[in-house]
């Protein structure tokens, strides 16, 4: 039986794909579980339209993210935290704090998984922050200062 998936199903297919599934699997699991709909002419056209919209949206998001990363490279982002006299922070600065500072100071909203820190920052100074989302890569600098 041919069905169009409306959700990703592990080991079966991705959203908006037309697949051929066993009749029992389609009728007893995929369709009642709202994972798929029967493949009709109208549903095929709608799936193709949604797939195109998703592709267009992804391309637009990629362009916007590249522009945001370029804009971040031009802005100086400063995060003020408490530190001891040796320059070690009382609390580490991680991805959520960096994303919040970029949004607050540069008015740029980065995707949640875009910042690629190896480990949280635990000392004062200037740091290069790698950013990657999809095929877009870049980096920007942050300065961590004491309050």
For 13-24, write each residue's pLDDT tens digit.
999 999 999 999
Q: Give the residue carrying structure tokens 């592709």.
A: 55
Confidence at residue 60, expressed as pLDDT on a 0 to 100 scale: 87
Q: CATH: 3.90.1750.10, 3.40.50.300, 3.90.700.10, 3.40.5.10. Which one for 2-60?
A: 3.40.5.10
Confidence at residue 49, expressed as pLDDT on a 0 to 100 scale: 94
**Once rounded to an integer, what is the mean pLDDT over residues 65-84?**
89
String of DSSP letters for 10-60: TTTB-TT-EEE--HHHIIIIITTTTSEEE--HHHHHHHHHHHHHHHHHHHH
Residue 134 has pLDDT above 80, yes or no: no
All residues at 6 or more sequence positions from 77 whose CB lies less than 8 Å from its CB, including other chains: 98, 101, 102, 105, 106, 140, 141, 142, 143
- Is this model's pTM higher than 0.75 or not? no
Confidence at residue 20, expressed as pLDDT on a 0 to 100 scale: 95
**pLDDT band at 11, cuts 50/70/90?**
very high
**pLDDT band at 44, cuts 50/70/90?**
very high
Confidence at residue 80, expressed as pLDDT on a 0 to 100 scale: 94
Return the CATH number of the domain spanning residue range 62-146: 3.10.430.100
Confidence at residue 68, expressed as pLDDT on a 0 to 100 scale: 86
Q: Which two tokens stand for residue 125?
A: 């100074």
Looking at every residue in the chain, the average pLDDT score rounds to: 91
**pLDDT band at 101, cuts 50/70/90?**
very high
The answer to whether domain 2-60 and domain 62-146 are alike in fold is no
Domain definitions of the chain by residue range: 2-60, 62-146
């Amino acid at each position: 039986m041919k069905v169009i998936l409306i959700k990703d199903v592990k080991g079966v297919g991705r959203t908006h794909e037309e697949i051929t599934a066993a009749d029992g699997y389609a009728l007893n699991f995929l369709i009642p579980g709202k994972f798929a709909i029967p493949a009709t002419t109208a549903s095929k056209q709608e799936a193709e339209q949604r797939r195109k919209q998703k592709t267009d949206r992804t391309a637009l998001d990629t362009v916007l993210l590249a522009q945001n990363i370029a804009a971040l490279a031009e802005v100086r982002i400063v995060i003020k935290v408490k530190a001891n006299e040796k320059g070690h922070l009382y609390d580490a600065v991680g991805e959520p704090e960096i994303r919040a500072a970029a949004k607050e100071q540069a008015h740029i909203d980065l995707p949640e998984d875009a910042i690629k820190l190896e480990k949280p920052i635990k000392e004062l100074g200037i740091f290069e922050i790698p950013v990657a989302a999809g095929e877009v890569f870049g980096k920007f600098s942050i300065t961590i200062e004491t309050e």
